[in-house]
Homo-oligomer: A and B are copies of this chain.
Amino acid sequence: MEIKEKSILIDFEPISRRLYVSKESSIYELLNEINIPIRSVCGGLGKCGKCKILVQKGHEYLIGPTSNEQNLINETEIENGWRLACETKIKISIKPQLTKAQTPQIRIFLPSQLLLEDFKILTSGISKSIKLQPTIEKIFLNVKKPSLEEPNADFERIEKEIIPKIKNFKKNNKISIDFNILNDIPNILRKNHHKITSVLWNNSNIIACEPGNTIESNFGIAFDIGTTTIVGYLLNLNNSKIYAVDSKLNSQTAYGEDLITRLTYIKENKENLNKLNSAVINDLNEIISNLCRKANIKPSHVYEATVVGNSVMHHIFLGLDPVNIGLSPFIPVIQKDLNVKAEKLRLKISKNGNVYTAPIIAGFVGADTIGVILSSQIYNERPLTLTIDIGTNGEIIIGNRNGLFVGSCAAGSALEGAHIDDGMRAAAGAIDTIKIDTQNLDVSYTTIKNKKPMGICGSGLVDGIAEMLKSKIITRSGNFNRELIDQERFIKKDKEIKFIIVGKEETSIGKEISISQSDVRQIQMAKAAFYSGMRIILSHLRKSLNIEQIFLAGAFGNYINAHNAKFIGMIPDIHDNKIFQIGNAAGIGAQHCLLNKNLRNKAQSLLSKIKYVEIAVEKNFQKEYVEAMYFPHLNLDFFPNLLEYRDIPKR
């Protein structure tokens, strides 16, 4: 069997980027294509030796080392796996035997000195570099000592010294200082020969004064609080560099997997909000501590945190009661962005550090969506763009430079493995890709970290359903094909039919892993929610416009096989090269807000321009949803390019 596309899997560490590659390109070219620019003096000509990478796995799928490398890297390094990114090419000619489910895998470690440039993200192939303009500015001051001739107060002498040094200081601005550090100033000045470093927030407010010169140590953390996963990025605010990334499961999952369960829990008892709030605050503090340890910096040198998350996560994080978000008409306490002192929220960064929360659009379209919009810059796009952020909840954004419409659908949890018999999250041992031989129904698959399979994660499920359709195992209405179910790969038990993906003997769970009739229904409902949601939102646009490009956001959106997502009818039928996987766009939005304060104004100003559509209350919703339950849709005219469907039975 030959895998035509995406035949080699490359994991880039420590940035956790995964790519399927099917063309013979160099690692240097690949990294540039996905907008992770790396340091190179010669521009990828194999002459400067600056683009050193460490190949940790999969040497056999790489050409080289070349003579350039033998000149530029010493022997021991080569033995240990060091290569030059520009010289390391993928051996695409190899066609591995796939008797066992194995995609060739390469793992490459990118040393931190490689990732020196301004942070850039992947959107529509155009890198959108972010101008470094943080709210935090550290300024070293040699404060004038007081005398009887000039007996100015300590603060006033600092003020006099700092004003001429502030970037973009406007004449009428006033300098203030956080009251709780005012009393530290006399000693800090007098014990350090009046040489101190002031930390200024937003051009005006001194939030910390440190002895001596500490301007080098200037950090911020961007948080993406997902329903299931929390990610934190530690950024250096002097140079935009990511110094560390850390993530963990949201401890709130102990109180309920999905938002509705958590809202119900909060409604039961006032104290429960505090429990959930403490859970997320503890998670964030754990991440802060991990990030600082990894980067070897002090938490007191982290002066700002930016936070995105859906509306319920946003509210719980801030200790705001989210119950009205769960009740029609789904009203948050506040939508606008907030700046709250870290101490008030019990976050263990600098005691006067600022916590910025991005604004939320509506009850079920939160600050995470603002993050996606900011980082994808969909508001600057010319083509009509569909952006789907697939997490536990799904958000749909449609628009371009002429306007934006957003909506939400409770669709994602099946894609995270919930309510799926053998479903699981994208963790080690999860089946993440599936191929089915249309002839003999043999299944090949890969698992995350190549562990023995334990279950199927979202991308595996999408693959599985798509492949089951292509093999006519299921019909367009999602029923098992009665003609095939007597074969040995099927199980019939309690009237339910299952298709075996991995036999008992290959799994680590002592039983087979399969996709059942009810699993198919779950995926149908999820994909129907996305597609019908998109149709409803499209109906709000001025004319009957067609989607011209698609951004898939979220970890899931990044790992999914985009073609198969289209094949099952989750997203519209446009050419694969118009579908872009833009990574954790919400988290990247949080990073952008940390690096450039003007984006916060942008976020707030977008708020009034985004039209929110409450999908489920639209009168056409039921009809659209039912039609979208079919694979790929009741109306095949919507998917004219999926020629395979000509042979797949409808019922």
The A149-200 residues at the B interface (CB cut-off 8 A) are: 151-156, 177, 179-180, 182-183, 185-186
In the complex, the answer to whether B148 meets A334 with C-beta atoms within 8 Å is no
In the complex, the answer to whether B332 meets A154 with C-beta atoms within 8 Å is yes
Partner of A186, one of B179, B318, B321, B614: B321
Minimum CB–CB distance from A157 to chain B (whole Å) comes to: 9
In the complex, the answer to whether B155 meets A329 with C-beta atoms within 8 Å is no
Chain B residues with CB below 8 A from A617, complex form: 148
In the complex, the answer to whether A333 meets B154 with C-beta atoms within 8 Å is yes
In the complex, the answer to whether B148 meets A328 with C-beta atoms within 8 Å is yes
Partner of A363, one of B151, B179, B330: B151
Chain B residues with CB below 8 A from A340, complex form: 179
In the complex, the answer to whether A338 meets B179 with C-beta atoms within 8 Å is yes
Tell yes or no: A256 within 8 A of B by CB.
no
Tell yes or no: A530 within 8 A of B by CB.
no
Whether A183 contacts B329 in the complex (CB less than 8 A), given A148-B614, A151-B614, A335-B152, comes out as no
Chain B residues with CB below 8 A from A154, complex form: 324, 331-334
Tell yes or no: A320 within 8 A of B by CB.
yes
Chain B residues with CB below 8 A from A614, complex form: 148, 151
The A312-350 residues at the B interface (CB cut-off 8 A) are: 318-321, 324, 328-336, 338, 340, 344
In the complex, the answer to whether B612 meets A333 with C-beta atoms within 8 Å is no
Tell yes or no: A111 within 8 A of B by CB.
no
Whether A334 contacts B147 in the complex (CB less than 8 A), given A179-B344, A321-B186, A324-B186, comes out as no
Chain B residues with CB below 8 A from A147, complex form: 329
Tell yes or no: A362 within 8 A of B by CB.
yes
In the complex, the answer to whether B334 meets A153 with C-beta atoms within 8 Å is yes
Tell yes or no: A146 within 8 A of B by CB.
yes
Chain B residues with CB below 8 A from A324, complex form: 154, 186
Whether A331 contacts B182 in the complex (CB less than 8 A), given A156-B336, A336-B156, comes out as no
Instruction: Give A560 to B594 CA distance when docked, in angstroms.
Output: 63
Instruction: Give A319 to B155 CA distance when docked, in angstroms.
Output: 15
In the complex, the answer to whether B333 meets A182 with C-beta atoms within 8 Å is yes
Whether A151 contacts B333 in the complex (CB less than 8 A), given A183-B320, A320-B182, comes out as no
Partner of A185, one of B148, B182, B328, B333: B333
Instruction: Give A609 to B404 CA distance when docked, in angstroms.
Output: 54
Main secondary structure of the interface of A (DSSP, over half): loop
Minimum CB–CB distance from A359 to chain B (whole Å) comes to: 10
Partner of A333, one of B155, B330, B344, B360: B155
In the complex, the answer to whether A153 meets B183 with C-beta atoms within 8 Å is no
In the complex, the answer to whether A331 meets B146 with C-beta atoms within 8 Å is yes
Minimum CB–CB distance from A594 to chain B (whole Å) comes to: 20
Minimum CB–CB distance from A124 to chain B (whole Å) comes to: 31
Minimum CB–CB distance from A483 to chain B (whole Å) comes to: 47
Minimum CB–CB distance from A198 to chain B (whole Å) comes to: 14
Output the nearest chain B residue to A156 by Cβ-Cβ distance.
Answer: B335
Instruction: Give A146 to B329 CA distance when docked, in angstroms.
Output: 7
The A24-38 residues at the B interface (CB cut-off 8 A) are: none
Chain B residues with CB below 8 A from A338, complex form: 179
Minimum CB–CB distance from A639 to chain B (whole Å) comes to: 32
In the complex, the answer to whether B151 meets A330 with C-beta atoms within 8 Å is yes
In the complex, the answer to whether B186 meets A156 with C-beta atoms within 8 Å is no
A residues at B contact (CB < 8 Å)? 146-148, 151-156, 177, 179-180, 182-183, 185-186, 318-321, 324, 328-336, 338, 340, 344, 360, 362-363, 612, 614, 617
| Beyond known contacts A153-B335, A183-B319: 20 more, CB 8 A cutoff | A147-B329, A148-B330, A148-B614, A151-B329, A151-B362, A151-B363, A151-B612, A151-B614, A153-B333, A155-B334, A156-B334, A156-B335, A156-B336, A179-B340, A182-B333, A182-B334, A183-B320, A183-B333, A186-B321, A186-B331
User: Can you list the 9 inter-chain pairs with the closest CB atoms, starting with the nearest?
Assistant: A155-B334, A153-B332, A153-B335, A148-B329, A151-B329, A146-B331, A179-B340, A183-B320, A153-B334
Jot down 29 A-B pairs with beta carbons below 8 A, ordered by A.
A146-B329, A146-B331, A147-B329, A148-B328, A148-B329, A151-B330, A151-B362, A151-B612, A151-B614, A153-B334, A153-B335, A153-B360, A154-B324, A154-B332, A154-B333, A154-B334, A155-B333, A155-B335, A156-B334, A179-B318, A179-B344, A180-B344, A182-B318, A182-B334, A183-B320, A186-B321, A186-B324, A186-B331, A186-B333
